[in-house]
Structure 1
Amino acid sequence: MASNDKPNVAYDPLPLTGDDQPTTSLYNAPPSPDPRLSSFHTPQMNPTELGADPSIPVGAAQPRFLGSTALYDGPAMRESFASSQHTIPNSEYTSSVYALNDPSAPGRFEGSYRDDPRGSYYTGDQNVPMSPVGAAGGRTLEEKRTAYAPPRAKSRRKIMILAVVAALILLLLAVVIPVYFFVVRPNNNESSNASTSSDSSASKSNHATATSSASTPSATPVTGRDGSEITMEDGTKFTYRNSFGGYWYYDENDPFNNGARAQAWSPALNETFRYGTDKMRGVNLGGWLNTEPFISPALYEKYLNNPTPAVDEWTLSEAMRADTAGGGINQLEDHYKTFITEKDFAEIAGAGLNFIRIPIGFWIIEVRDEEPFLPKVSWTYFLKAIKWARKYGLRINLDLHALPGSQNGWNHSGRLGTTGFLNGPMGYANAQRSLDYIRILAEFISQPQYKDVVTIFGIINEPQGSVMGQDALARFYLEAYNIIRTAGGTGEGNGPYVSIHDGFFPRTDWTNTFPNADRITLDSHPYLCFNGQSSAPISTYATTPCTSWGGAVNNSMASFGLTNAGEFSNAVTDCGLFLNGVNLGTRYEGTYIGVWPRMGSCSTWTDWQNYDAATKRAIRQFALASMDALQDYFFWTWKIGNSSRTGKVETPAWSYQLGLENGWMPTDPRDATGACGNSNPWSPPLRAWQTGGAGAGIPASVSSNLAWPPATISMGGAVTTLPTYTPTGPIPTLPVPTFPSSVTVNAGSGWANAADSQGVFVPIPTCTYLDPWVDPSTAPPPVCAAGTRREAIPDPLFTPAPQA
């Protein structure tokens, strides 16, 4: 590996064989697991082969990571999530690990990536190796910032200087004040007192501005480096550990100060993050504010013996509400308080990571009708997340993980079952409601107090594109994009990057969909573990991420623009408690729905307490290859909770924290640089308009072709025949944080753009509506007079490019 002490020292090439045996070539990776297997029988594309599963409602979609739920012709789900051998042409996600980079079938892959500097199977522009992860010039250039001192607490010398200045000011006032009262004021007795301006968006409901009339300097340290002591809100103390030159900063009298830096090589929050050049090395806080059974299994294990076991947050909330003796629905807030704390944010910065992706459900804003979710409470903890991220120099990718009606029918969308977003009779109404939630969140995070911390907004997590169709999804994306730009404005620093998920379509399908869009990034979630299973050891996967993902990411960076992997993990099998869903078994052990040959016992993969040194090295190598191939990434996830039955983590391949503690995750993510070879990398920077620079904006012709709403909704029919809401409801503006009365600070109003004053979508009193979560095959109610549509969101104005 390159030395930290010497500039521009090339990394030693990594042996890509995945074992400790000598090899004749550093680039001769072993074959993918069990190459003798050439096909699988996977009945997912034909649901009638699966048989009934009593844990899934009739007519419901299959659990997360299964194949397409569409029962009509169209593109199938990509196999990184699907279990089918049916593929989408030209997608890097459509092959299983048994046929990676098969030279006999290059069309199965997006691009023709080969990580071999000695030659290539293909020639021409399509042979594009992946981009480097490290900044140009090596670590030494990245760490030069350590020479700059962080903000420091006031020293005695500074206090003395301030005292002298104050004395001079008092002396000056002693002269000026008499002159004013005895000379100036008598000649100007008609002057009026100045008044402070009121908040221009005072008409919004539930908003507040935290201010006070006095400020008392605090003796509490406001910054610190490696080894400093941190006291949390509950009085618990821990030692901040950061060997990468990072430092925390928090002044209770200046709570919006952005002086913290996660690491020496990561820009401080008050500096510009150069997307496409500075790397997003991130981790998810999955299962915290939006629960999932395999991440926090103890919450779900408590209700396994119920007549209706908890399988998603909907049924978990119902079970908790009925369990008054056990704490009721407030058990969820107990989870928020304890599952993730300030210490986790400090540890994430100390692990060399600079970004956090935080999944939330729409109930962070409100619930309607009979939705059982705990409303609004998780917002209190998202505000804490902003505070802690600011303190440790971390940036946030806000991920809207669950939408009304469900965007994919999987348990993490809030309710396991069917897809009711942009699908079925309530598909349009649910989309209207979702756009409002996007608008409310965008208005909050675009405020100057928060925009430098929450810098990316993932507007939908994993929509089932094959169900709703790419055209309808693209129209929704463009409408959401315009709403976000209306909230914060255009240009660098004005509101967040807009992150759109690929909808399980190949990345190439999104090229030129939104040309000249201001700060947009394409999100993909590559996984290997939900395909055909193999008992081959983890060491045989040493370069699988490189050959599977590297070239496609590189091509997307060049053609689409900023590309990120919002999720990936160390899992190469589907072993783990509740990973596929509650009580659904595993493919690996042959207990999952359908016909799956048993590969062996999952204990080989889940018994992390007995991993030997070679296994840990192999997992680490796989993690490094994944990081290098994906370039800008967010590992899923930071923490996995213990099972209440076994008292330990049962899905170790998914916990970054557990890997750090036990030696199979890199203590320095920069070690990934060069893990895939990087023979001919894509060269930053991104185009100017892709980073908020001057540009013409999305062409009018594109906006016209993707006008909102779509003419028809999948399984629903013409939009004009479907239930629709009217934009006349009061806006549930998100509350801002509060501070002690001794602190004078403007926390904002919760609404960045006062001119954006139209109401939110609500039911028309005279119209009939179906349950937002109704089965999509249900017939729509009789046509009702449509409500007033929200005025079309105009394309944001862009600063014209300078003329040559």
Structure 2
Amino acid sequence: MSSSDSSSTAYKALPNVPGRDSDSDYDNDDPRSLSYQHGAGLNTNPTRPHFMGAALAGEAGSSRPSFDSGHQTYPSFGDNNSSVYALNPQDVHGTPESEFRDGSQYFGYRDDSFDASRDVPMHPVGSPQYLEEKRAVYAPPRRRSRVKMILFGVLGGVAALIIIVVLAVYFGVVKKNNDKTTTGDSVSNPTGTSSAGGGGSSGTLVVTGGGGSTVTTDNGTTFTYQNSFGGYWYWDPNDPFNNGARAQSWSPALNETFHWGVDKIRGVNIGGWLVTEPFSIPSLYEKYPQAVDEWTLSEAMANDTGSGGLSQLNEHYETFITEEDFAQIAGAGLNFVRIPLPYWAIETRGDEPYNAKVPWTYFLKAIRWARKYGLRINLDLHALPGSQNEWNHSGRMNDVNFLNGPMGIANAQRSLDYIRIIAEFISQDEYTDVVVMFGITNEPEESIFGLDNLQRYYLQAYNNVRLASGTGTGNGPMISYHDGFLPVNQWAGFMPGADRIALDDHPYICFAGQSAAPMSSYNNTPCVAWGSNMNTSMSAFGLTAAGEWSNAVTDCGKWLNGVGEGARYDGSYPGSTAVGTCDTWTDWPAWDDDMKSAIKQFALASMDALQNWFFWTWKIGNSTVTGKVESPAWSYQLGLQNGWMPTDPREAVGMCGNSAPWQPPLAPSATGGSGAGQIPASVSASLPWPPTTISNGGPGTALPTYTPTGTVPTLTAETFSSATGTAKINAGNGWANSQDTAGLMVAIATCSYLDPWVGPGVVPPSPLCSSSARKREAHTEPAPMPVITSPPLR
């Protein structure tokens, strides 16, 4: 894909490089190792990896870990280390996914080489069975005279011209947002020369285009839309909420129904953009060596007024991800984006140094770009007040102050408010077809605050989202719950009858025990480690998706474990023993075809095993020190440009062998059907809110809490005007349900409070409240500052 302004942004596209389309060591002081977790030893001064945390189990296949070596609560093992994927050469697929609907462009092509009507099993991967069938069905054409052929050609050209005109009218005028019936893959591939704000050579406003069309961006620059999958963009400034765009022929257009459990989620995260992380955006953190998370980065930037202060983050938002990225994502055969959003996109309080509210303005751009290219959004609330997991991607590392410690309830109350505010916005008719999934909390560390309190919080969050959606089932987003790093089978039966809930698992193998085995040895690992878990959970819980996964099989990568932490693989991580050099895994310009092919095989196997997934992440920024990406296994874009990611993710179907992926449909409640929303009263009664006891805090009645008397900060929408500028277009008022009238959770004037980030070791104020008590200032008990861990001596 070319761009006329690619040289004007700080984040330049990476150059295309030609390429092709054992045993682990365990350390008894290593909180990610099996021997450690089974009691072989406890590190008295452990250093946690602040990107992912420590592993639940030290073997390939464990989910993204969350064990803090300083705590004595040990999660159970089992499900995520299962190695049964029902690999059976006699098994066949059952009901095919909806993407295999016959289409006018693909003539019933099936990428799984399976004919459901005849129960024909899959051929070996790569076997062109569909060509064999096509040859058998279609007889050779009869000879026609030259005159007849010319006549037919002319008539065909006229017919094609008529079809193009009709389709342009249809998509530009007729097919509006209220068309909610799936029509399958029989779609056109319209072409155009420009988008909103620019007309074609005749001055006519062109509002849609397919592969090869020219797109005009907000700032007037243009690029060529590359999409070979029948996808088309749609943008009409006179109708900015038209949902006619389609990412690919096999993915429902935005104004069509996405059938959960039938249509496959093939997505990618937009990580490092609105929530920064050192490993995703090393250039931001390399400038400020004292920065280890976005809190300290924001403080360092704010103090650096000569460089623009905190507005440097605005420049990052503006250049790291652009409209062209969304176009490339659709052109890569992907149909979803998962976008991490921090709570400070809504507001900050006290001395919280974040770039308040600005991320929201860029999330609104993301909604517009996703709508334009037919992509659906999973909004992921990635960072919560007080930190839900103590790692740098939560905004501030070191301590968990969410559902833990003396401010545990108050921070959870505040988080629930932010969930409610976001839900009210995205449940509006203008946005509900684009932001279709809401991940309410990213990676809460269940091992710290316990499953019971996490489920109480999840139920309350569910109530907040469904209240925002208004009355009736099927309204508002699918609600996605992270599994808290527990085996997915422990969530079976949670909230029976709930209206459209999904389970979010983050399976990574790179943070388990490190191995010197070559990349080619991991070809089948995802199939064995993850496939059975997904099948089981889809039946026992409901929709289950991998919200994050990557191609990494080692923990090599600059600051992957946190600033100054090093890597286990090369022995630079505290307490680790070197297995080999990380250059093998990070020096991607030196990778040969065999290495690229092995990574691609791993990616395809992961996609097939997980079935519904979001790769982490779309883009990793270049290091200013080396001038290149230092964590290549985590960048989908880099893999596409250099040949180790598939250009068509449908290649993955059947990669795990002639296995039996989960068969639809989901339970009716999981899809908004009959019985949805009817949660038994006994379930609600067993999970009351707020919690009666908080880990590292004590009885809930002895802890500071907030009261709903504040003014709710409603999220604002973009401003749209018609092309003539004569009429302002209604973009919603930010609040879907006018009956939702409760105030914002705020401090009680006569009560005392600690700093929200104080840490779990502080005693609550006593007495909490009195008629004459003065509200304690937030700085009375300051939170400890996060620090860089000194690298170990080699």
TM-score bracket, normalised by the shorter chain, equals 0.7 to 0.9
Structure 1 Cα separation of the partners of residues 164 and 521 of structure 2: 45
Match of 2:256 in 1: 271
Work out whether 1:243 is the aligned partner of 2:228: yes
In 2: Cα distance, 1:358 partner to 1:272 partner: 21
Shift of 1:597: 1.8
Query: Is 1:133–1:670's contact at 8 Å kept on the other side of the alignment?
Result: no
Measure, in 1, the Cα distance between the counterparts of 2:312 and 2:728: 35
Asked if 2 retains the 8 angstrom alpha-carbon contact of 1:285 and 1:359, the reply is yes
Describe the superposition over 1:171-196 as per-residue Cα deviations: whole angstroms up to 9, x where unpaired: xxxxxxxxxxxxxxxxxxxxxxxxxx
Deviations 1:542-601 (A, max 9, x none): 00000000000000001101001000000000000111111110000001022x221111
Which blocks of at least 5 consecutive residues in structure 1 are unaligned? Answer: 1-19, 21-33, 70-76, 102-111, 120-128, 160-216, 788-804
Instruction: Name the residue aligned to 1:694.
Output: 674
> Is residue 85 of structure 2 the alignment partner of residue 113 of structure 1?
yes
Conserved? CA contact 1:283–1:353, under 8 Å: yes
Code of the aligned partner of 2:291 = A
Determine if contact 1:428/1:719 at 8 Å carries over to the other structure. yes
Deviations 1:617-639 (A, max 9, x none): 11000000000000110000000
Q: CA deviation at 1:66?
A: 3.0
Question: In the alignment, is the contact (CA less than 8 A) between 1:133 and 1:674 conserved in 2?
Answer: no
- The answer as to 2:425 corresponding to 1:463 is no
- Structure-2 residue corresponding to 1:25: none
> TM-score scaled by structure 2?
0.78
Which residue of 1 is the match for residue 122 of structure 2?
A: none
Q: Secondary structure at the match of 1:508?
A: helix
2:702 corresponding residue in structure 1: 721
- Cα distance, 1:444 vs. partner? 0.2
Contact 1:425 1:780 in 2 (8 A): yes
**Closer/same/farther in 2, CA of residues 92 and 539 from structure 1, 3 Å limit:** farther
Residue 652 of structure 1 corresponds to 632
Measured in 1, the distance between the counterparts of 2:468 and 2:413 equals 17
| 2:277 pairs with one of 292, 314, 318 | 292
Q: Does 1:442 align with 2:423?
A: yes
Aligned to 2:659: 679
Are 1:643 and 2:643 counterparts? no
SS at match of 2:729: coil
1:314 to 1:47, Cα distance in 2 relative to 1, 3 A: farther
2: distance between equivalents of 1:578 and 1:537? 23
Instruction: Map residues 13-412 of structure 1 onto 2, 5 A cutoff.
Output: 34-35=22-23, 40-44=27-31, 50=43, 52=45, 63-67=50-54, 80-81=64-65, 88-93=75-80, 95=81, 101=83, 112-117=84-89, 135=98, 137=100, 143=106, 153=168, 219-304=204-289, 309-412=290-393
In the TM superposition, residue 154 of structure 1 has moved relative to its aligned partner by: 5.5
Do 1:364 and 1:378's aligned partners in 2 also have CA atoms closer than 8 Å? yes
Q: Distance in 2 between matches of 1:711 and 1:144?
A: 60
- 1:751 aligned onto 2:757: no
Report the CA distance between 1:39 and its aligned residue: 5.4
Q: Deviations over 1:374-410 (max 9, x none)?
A: 1001111000000000000000000000000000000
Which portions of structure 1, spanning 4 or more consecutive aligned residues, are displaced by more than 6 angstroms?
83-87, 129-133, 138-142, 145-151
Contact (CA 8 Å) 2:403, 2:411: kept in 1 or not?
A: yes
Cα drift, residue 139 of structure 1: 7.8
Q: Which amino acid aligns with 1:716?
A: G
- Partners of 2:28 and 2:41 within 8 A in 1: no
Q: SS of the counterpart of 1:328?
A: coil
1:613 equivalent in alignment to 2:593:
yes
- For residues 111-130 of structure 1, the C-alpha deviation after alignment (integer angstroms, 9 at most, x for no partner) is x43424369xxxxxxxxx99
Secondary structure of the 2:380 match is strand
Deviations 1:740-774 (A, max 9, x none): 34344211100000011111001111111000001
2:515 to 509, 516, 534: 534
Q: Which runs of 5+ in 2 are unaligned?
A: 1-19, 32-36, 110-159, 175-201, 772-794
Match of 1:211 in 2: none
Cα 1:341/1:372, change in 2 over 3 Å:
same
Give the distance between the partners of 2:473 and 2:264, measured in 1 at CA.
17
8 A Cα contact 1:68 1:466, kept in partner: no
| AA matched with 2:577 | P
Distance in 2, matches of 1:342 and 1:665, equals 22
2:688 matched residue in structure 1: 707
Q: Secondary structure at the match of 1:731?
A: coil
Query: C-alpha distance in 2, partners of 1:83/1:771?
Result: 25
**Matches of 1:42 and 1:84 in 2, distance apart?**
12
Contact 1:452 1:493 in 2 (8 A): no
Q: How much has 1:356 moved relative to structure 2?
A: 0.3
2:502 and 2:544 in contact (8 A); partners too: yes
Backbone CA RMSD of aligned residues: 3.0
| Residues matched between the structures, number | 654
Aligned residue for 2:460, secondary structure, equals helix
Contact 1:362 1:437 in 2 (8 A): yes
Distance 1:504 1:548, change over 3 A: same
Find the residue that maps to 2:603 and give its secondary structure. helix
Secondary structure in structure 2 of the residue aligned to 1:727: strand
Residue 765 (1) aligns with residue 749 (2): yes
Determine helix, strand or coil for the equivalent of 2:720.
coil
Asked if the contact 2:209/2:234 (under 8 Å) is kept, the reply is yes
Identity of aligned residues (%): 58
Is contact 1:83–1:530 with CA below 8 Å preserved after alignment?
Answer: no
| TM-score normalised by length of structure 1 | 0.77
8 A Cα contact 1:499 1:523, kept in partner: yes
Pair 1:598–1:138, CA change in 2 (3 A)? farther
